Amino acid sequence: MNTTLAIAHATSSTTNDTLGVIGAALLVGLLLAYALLVLGALVSSLGAPMSGGMKLVWIIFIFIAPFIGSICWFLIGKRNAYVSAYR
């Protein structure tokens, strides 16, 4: 009986360790993707052909609300900056 409990405990411990490593890797991957999204939005907004005032507004928006600001930049701001520059 004790041998069965020891094997079950060892198997449970190994499973928990594996899930911990997978969870940590997933967390690191998500944080890296988040950082690249924000950094990409900042670099893209700095290189966009728009006035300095609008660049400043977008940069402040990206810093204040990094996730939403970055998504809004790529969905709305970038397209509008290039459309208005080539009119």
Give the pLDDT confidence of 13-64 residue by residue, as tens digits. Answer: 666 778 788 888 999 999 999 999 999 999 999 998 888 888 999 999 999 9
70 close to 60: Cβ distance less than 8 angstroms:
no
* Helix boundaries (H) for the chain: 2-47, 52-64, 66-72, 78-85
CA distance linking residue 80 with residue 64, whole number of Å = 21
37, amino acid identity = L
84: its two tokens: 């208005």
**pLDDT for position 39:** 96
Alpha carbon of residue 37 to chain centroid: 5
